[in-house]
Amino acid sequence: MNYPFQISIVIPLYNEDESLPELVAWIRKVMAENSFTYEIILIDDGSSDKSWDVINQLSVGQSDILASRFNRNYGKSAGLSIGFKLAKGEVVITMDADLQDSPDEIPDLYKMITMEGYDMVSGWKKKRYDPLSKTIPTKLFNAVTRRFSGIQLNDFNCGLKAYKNKVIKAVELYGEMHRYIPVLAKWNGFVKIGEKVVEHRPRKYGVTKFGLERFLYGFLDLLSITFVTKFKKRPMHFFGAWGFSSFLLGFFITLWMVGEKFYKAKMNIPVRDVTDQPLFYIALVVLIVGVQMFLAGYLAELMNSDSHKKNDYLIASQIDKTL
């Protein structure tokens, strides 16, 4: 596969007009020093400040900028996702627009992808310049994600990452999924995931765009991708199995209760009304839950049968000598 550029730099940004000129100048300097061919892809995520004007000024008389602007603020994942669609470089590097990530890391990241054969390399902000209220939850977040995903990265949420082009074309981002690109990549079979310690700088201009709610949403997203990655293609295996077990349990409890009633009646042993026994209500709940889960699995399976036709399996290579 031939790529028109060695590097695509994808930068999602939201209200970063102060940082942009410095950032773009710095990237251009690094690119020139290493004589890379490159494109800078700027996705303005519906900024309300002068970011778009600044981007326009920066692209006057230059051919290295490709920029899109959202009509409203959709979030960082949306920005990255559009950037990934546009990226034509052999290596795709994402970074934040706020100058917290240093463009000086680009040559090494590029080398790790092209020479050392990594599918993706994630930056690790080993020494951070963030307030404690952010670094402590971040540690927890990383530990949980490591455990769920089995990927041994220290810093999942670092904005500075490098990918082989085909990796970013394979991952589908939605919600706040940008935090889990390594997990999505691994799920698509890109298992050579590396890590590089990168310099982290304090935010120079503007303010952070994410508050503490990032950790709650991040965790919920982790649950959904874990679930989706495991059962997307076969929801019935999950819902069906649990639903059926639950139904069976209820069924046997009911059977037992009816049997007991008849037996005791026959033997003239005094017997409580079925409706007087807690077990009866447990059986009812378990039966209903079972049927519900089974139905949920069935519906998911129905919806899936359409997407199966779409066939989103990722094909690594192909031989076709029929032409």
Positions touching ligand UDP (CB under 6 A) are 12-14, 16, 45, 73, 75-76, 79, 96-98, 100, 159, 208-210
For Mg ion, the binding residue among 15, 100, 138, 145 (CB under 5 A) is 100
For Mg ion, the binding residue among 16, 44, 98, 176 (CB under 5 A) is 98
Q: Which does 178 bind (CB under 5 to 8 A by kind): Mg ion, ligand UDP, none?
A: none
What is the phi/psi pair of residue 7, to 5°?
Answer: -135, 135
CB atoms within 10 A of CB 313: 9
| Closest listed residue to residue 160, CA positions, set 11, 310, 322 | 11
| Nearest to ligand UDP of 55, 97 (CB atom) | 97
Asked if 103 contacts 19 with a C-beta cutoff of 8 angstroms, the reply is: no
On the 0-12 / 13-18 / 19+ scale of CB atoms within 10 A, 169 is middle
Q: Residue 89 forms beta bridges with which residues?
A: 5
| Nearest to ligand UDP of 76, 187 (CB atom) | 76
| Nearest to ligand UDP of 114, 154 (CB atom) | 154
CA distance 102 to 95: 9
How far is C-alpha 237 from the geometric centre of its chain's CA atoms?
Answer: 23
Closest CB 90 distance from ligand UDP, rounded Å: 23
Closest CB 206 distance from Mg ion, rounded Å: 9
Closest CB 99 distance from Mg ion, rounded Å: 8
Q: Which does 182 bind (CB under 5 to 8 A by kind): ligand UDP, Mg ion, none?
A: none
| Nearest to ligand UDP of 204, 272 (CB atom) | 204
- Give residues with Cβ within 8 angstroms of 259, minimum separation 6: none
Q: Which does 13 bind (CB under 5 to 8 A by kind): Mg ion, ligand UDP, none?
A: ligand UDP
Closest CB 50 distance from Mg ion, rounded Å: 19
Q: Which does 83 bind (CB under 5 to 8 A by kind): ligand UDP, Mg ion, none?
A: none
- Within 165-320, strands assigned E span 193-197
- Give residues with Cβ within 8 angstroms of 145, minimum separation 6: 151, 153, 156, 179, 180, 183, 222
| Nearest to ligand UDP of 39, 45 (CB atom) | 45
Residues that bind Mg ion (CB under 5 A): 96, 98, 100
